Amino acid sequence: MNILFVCTGNTCRSAMASAIMNKIAAENDLDVRIESAGIFAEEGQRASDNAVKALEKYNIDLSQHRTKPVSEDIIKQSDIILTMTAAHKQILELTSGGNVYTLLEFSGSSGDISDPYGGDLDEYDECACEIYDALVDVAEKISDVKSND
């Protein structure tokens, strides 16, 4: 299964989500390919410093992350696209073929993942925690789908 995480700039939320999901997938032996991108991302920027610091608490190294914009190719390669907000979802629904959900929606909750960009480390920590909790539920859902195949 190919999962794409999408936010605005791919320096915070989607980058953290993909790194966290990689860790959860490895710990749960899930066969997934994970990517992240940003609707307005520029190619090749680093993750924000506070995103890197927030994930250190989960023993995840985000320092090598480089941003990339959402492209038609990456959308076509994705089985599921998980966005950080309803606005991101709305933008991508036009070109994705219907496999777009907000992260919280897919995890069984509702709402948006707030953008910590420009905030302090506490805001990034809260964001990372919210993403992590949602991704535990996503991993369970994926695991259940795989076991029913």
**Is 125 part of the annotated catalytic residue set?**
no
- Per the listing, tokens 């492209």 go with 71
**Is 7 part of the annotated catalytic residue set?**
yes
**Is 112 part of the annotated catalytic residue set?**
no
What is the reported pTM?
0.96
- The closest alpha carbon to 144, from 107, 117, 110, belongs to 107
Q: Rounded to an integer, what is the distance from CA 13 to the centroid of its chain?
A: 6
Question: Would you say residue 132 has pLDDT above 80?
Answer: yes
| pLDDT at residue 143, as a whole number | 87
pLDDT digits (tens, 9 = 90+) for 42-101: 999 999 999 999 999 999 999 999 999 999 999 999 999 999 999 999 999 988 878 999
- The closest alpha carbon to 19, from 42, 44, 53, 69, belongs to 53
- Catalytic residue (choose from 115, 125, 133, 137): 115
| pLDDT at residue 147, as a whole number | 61
